[in-house]
Structure 1
Amino acid sequence: MKYSKATDYALHTMLFLVAATPNKPIGVQQLADRQNVSPTYLSKILTKLVKAGMVESASGANGGYRLKRNWENISFLDIIHAVEGTASLFDCSFDHGSECPIQQVVLSAEAKMEEHLRNQTMFDLAKKNKNKIVW
């Protein structure tokens, strides 16, 4: 199983926003520089996070991106779904329906993974690693 680079950048961007100053806008150039990624590419990822209601953009000289209200509750799964969508990782090639024993095993494992990711918040991660987050 593999998530896209966009998910990696989204997770790191969100961690930086949480660890930095959640209410202060940070420019896309600064966020892109920290990850050595194109600002244009990161802007597309940030647009998905804006649409998902996790961040908001502020225009102007002191503009940029900042976290929206209730950012303390944003989970890894929220961010992954914002970037990757909510489709299942497994797609059975046969038309066995829900009775397919292979599909049952894989979907059960996926549900456990999603539960784990749902219980991991960026806020908790930033708190645990306050002195370790270095870019």
Structure 2
Amino acid sequence: MKYTKATDYALHIMAYFIKQEGTNNFSLQPLASHMNISPTYLSKILTQLVKADLIQSTAGVNGGYSLRKPKTEISFYDVIKAIEGSGALFTCEMNENGACPIEKVMRDAEEKMVNDLKEKRFYNII
């Protein structure tokens, strides 16, 4: 299984926000420079994080991006879901009569991984 580059960046962005807790707003250009990501690509990632209610965007001269939720509530799964969505990682294409034992094994494994990621918090690793 492989996550997209956007997920990698989003996880690092959230870790940075949490590590810098107390900073009011992060502006796009300085954040892009610090993360070494193009501002356009970063903007797309930040938009997805805003839509997921993980961060908020404030317009204006002193505007920027900041955490919306308390750091203790943000899990790895929240960020991954914001970028990748919540669809199943595996779908049986050879499903006969609605019962695929291989799909059951894969879904069980995915459920365990999702539950583990829901328990992992950024503030615990930073």
TM-score by shorter chain over 0.5: yes
Match for residue 46 of structure 1? Answer: 46
> What secondary structure sits across from 1:66 in the alignment?
strand
Deviations 1:26-67 (CA, angstroms, capped at 9, x unpaired):
111122112211011011010011011010011222211000
Question: What 5-or-longer segments of structure 1 have no aligned partner?
Answer: 127-135
Instruction: Report the Cα offset of residue 70 of structure 1.
Output: 2.8
* Structure 1 residues 74-85: aligned runs within 5 Å: 74-85=74-85
Match for residue 31 of structure 2? Answer: 31
Maintained 8 Å contact 1:32/1:39: yes
Q: Tell me the percent identity.
A: 45
CA-based RMSD:
1.5
CA distance in 1, matches of 2:73, 2:22: 13
Match for residue 121 of structure 2? Answer: 121
**Deviating 4+ runs (over 6 angstroms):** none
CA distance in 2, matches of 1:80, 1:52: 10
Amino acid aligned to 2:61: A
CA distance in 1, matches of 2:99, 2:123: 39
Figure out how many residues of one structure are paired with residues of the other and give that number.
126
CA distance in 2, matches of 1:56, 1:123: 19
What TM-score comes out, normalization by structure 1 length? 0.86
Instruction: Report the Cα offset of residue 19 of structure 1.
Output: 0.3
Match for residue 90 of structure 1? Answer: 90
Amino acid aligned to 2:31: L
Question: What 5-or-longer segments of structure 2 have no aligned partner?
Answer: none
